[in-house]
Amino acid sequence: MKLMRLVSRAQLLTISALLIAMTAVACGAGGGGDDGVTMGGTEDAPKRIRIVESDQIFTEDDLKGIGWKGQRDFILDYPEATVAKWGYLNTKEVGILIYASAEDAKNHGVTSAEGQTFRRESDGQAPDNDSIDRISCRDKAGASAVKAETGFGSKSFSASYLDPEIAESDDVEAQTRVCSNRFPTYNDYTVVGNIVAMCESDTRNLTDPSTNCEKIAGWLIPTE
């Protein structure tokens, strides 16, 4: 199994700033809704980060209970995560990292989520290495998705697609072509207690907001 590459010094500084900002926001954060949003990314490629404090320890079954359908384990290693898997919620892809504690989620989980949503400043694409697990391969108009050549074997293929049925296929060689427009599938992410949810956007524009990341805290912690 490949190890996740170490984040750069610039990314570490960004993560530290985000943790400080999110800690301040989390003190007043409630269940769901759009409260507690911290903006990250860039002006051209913004991402929405939420951290919601909770004393509950959530499990994979709790996520299944709100409709998340897990598909496969991630390929890379995610330090301290007890579950690292991608799946679908409301027809959109959501990657899930589960930790033993909320503290681990706010530290190790945020670091991992920042890495999985990282875009190059020059063109907004994913870095040219194996540090991102899920890639959406788009044409120049952003109107379609194709399989990307990543170097992984067919049983551990890591590209991401718009069509869940195609994504579940192991017949990689017959469908693979080189991808010249590689974008991170996930943009927004939400920390809820011991869980980190990394979300695909609601639209084909991968930097548009994600309803799943906006609402997941409320679905896991419903208000009466």
Segment-wise mean pLDDT, segments of 10 residues, the chain, 224 residues: 43 46 41 67 92 96 97 95 97 97 97 96 87 81 44 38 45 51 94 98 94 97 79
Is residue 156 assigned to a domain?
A: yes
Is residue 3 assigned to a domain?
A: no
Asked whether 214 and 202 are in contact (CB, 8 A), the reply is no
How many separate domains does the chain show? 1
The two tokens of residue 179 are 């991808």
Is residue 1 assigned to a domain?
A: no
Residue 180: which domain range?
9-220
Asked whether 161 and 145 are in contact (CB, 8 A), the reply is yes
- Check residue 209 and give its pLDDT: 96
- Check residue 53 and give its pLDDT: 95
Is residue 63 assigned to a domain?
A: yes
Is residue 170 assigned to a domain?
A: yes
- Radius of gyration of the chain, Cα coordinates, nearest whole angstrom: 16
H helices of 53-187, in order, are 60-65, 102-104, 110-116, 164-167, 172-175
- Check residue 128 and give its pLDDT: 80
DSSP letter string, 17-70: HHHHHHHHHHTT--SSTTTTEEEEE-SSSEEEEEEE--S----HHHHHHTT-EE
Q: How far apart are CA 188 and CA 65, in angstroms?
A: 22
- Check residue 198 and give its pLDDT: 98
Is residue 100 assigned to a domain?
A: yes
- Check residue 178 and give its pLDDT: 61
Amino acid at 10: A
Is residue 20 assigned to a domain?
A: yes
- Check residue 224 and give its pLDDT: 61
